[in-house]
Chains A and B, each alone.
Chain A
Amino acid sequence: MASNSTAIEVEHLVRRFGDIEALSDVSVTIRKGEFFSLLGPSGCGKTTLLRIIGGLDIPDGGVVRIGGVDAREIVAHKRPVNTVFQSYALFPHMNVSDNIAFGLRMKKVPKPEIQERVKRVMNLVEITSLGDRKPAQLSGGQKQRVALARAVVNEPQVLLLDEPLGALDLKLRKQLQVELLSLQRRLGITFVYVTHDQEEALVMSDRIAVMRAGKIVQMGESESLYEHPQTRYVSQFLGSCNILDATVKQRGTTDAIVDTPAGQLRVEYGLNPPNVAKSDKFTLAIRPEKVTLCGIAEGSGENRIKVRVEELLYVGSETHYLLRAGPQKLTAQAMNVKVGSQGFDIGQEAVAYLPAAGLLLLDD
Chain B
Amino acid sequence: MRRLTLPLWLISGFLYAFMYAPIVVVIVFSFNSARHGGPWMGFTTEWYAKLLDSPDKITATNNTVILAVVSTIVSTVLGTMLGYGMSRYRFPGKRMFSWLMYIPVVIPDIVMAVAMLSFYALLRDWLGLFQLGMTTMIIAHITFQIPFVAIVVRSRMVGMDPAIEEAAHDLGASTWQTFWNVTFPLMIPGVLAGAMLAITLSLDDFVVSFFTTGPGATTLPILIYSSVKRGITPDINALSTLIVLASVAGVIGATLLQRPHRQAGGG
Contacts and interface: CB of A to CB of B under 8 A. Distances in A.
Contact of A85 (B163, B185, B263): B163
Contacts of A91: 164, 167-168, 182
B192 interface: no
B166 A93 contact: no
Interface string A86-98: 1101111100000
Contact of B172 (A93, A103, A134): A103
A135 interface: yes
B172 A77 contact: yes
A33 interface: no
A315 interface: no
A89 B163 contact: yes
B173 interface: yes
A81 B167 CA distance: 12
Nearest to B160: A92
Contact of A83 (B170, B174, B265, B266): B170
A77 B167 contact: no
B171 A82 contact: yes
B170 A56 contact: yes
Given A78-B172, A106-B171, A89 B166 contact: yes
Interface residues of B, number: 21
A282 interface: no
Contacts of B177: 106
Contact of A92 (B170, B172, B186): B186
Nearest to A136: B266
A172 B216 CA distance: 71
A312 interface: no
Contacts of A226: none
A338 interface: no
B193 to A, nearest CB: 16
B259 interface: no
Interface string A4-35: 00000000000000000000000000000000
Contacts of B182: 91
B265 A93 contact: yes
A56 B166 contact: yes
B265 A92 contact: yes
A102 B171 contact: yes
A150 interface: yes
B161 interface: yes
B264 interface: yes
A102 B168 contact: yes
A144 interface: no
Contacts of A186: none
A54 interface: yes
A222 interface: no
A107 B168 CA distance: 12
Contacts of A89: 161, 163-164, 166-167
Interface string A120-147: 0000000000000011100000000000
A294 interface: no
Contact of B169 (A76, A86, A90, A135): A76
B171 A56 contact: no
A83 B167 contact: yes
Contacts of B264: 92-93, 134, 136
Interface of A: 54-56, 76-78, 81-83, 85-87, 89-93, 102-103, 106-107, 134-136, 150-151, 154
Complex A-B, nearest 4 residue pairs according to Cβ-Cβ distance, in ascending order: A103-B171, A92-B266, A89-B163, A89-B167
27 contacts: A55-B169, A56-B169, A56-B170, A77-B172, A77-B174, A82-B171, A83-B167, A85-B167, A89-B163, A89-B164, A89-B166, A91-B182, A92-B164, A92-B186, A92-B265, A93-B264, A102-B171, A102-B181, A103-B171, A106-B171, A106-B172, A106-B174, A106-B177, A134-B263, A134-B266, A136-B263, A136-B264
Given A56-B166, A86-B163, 14 more contacts: A77-B172, A82-B170, A85-B163, A89-B166, A89-B167, A91-B167, A92-B264, A102-B173, A106-B172, A107-B172, A136-B264, A136-B266, A151-B170, A154-B171
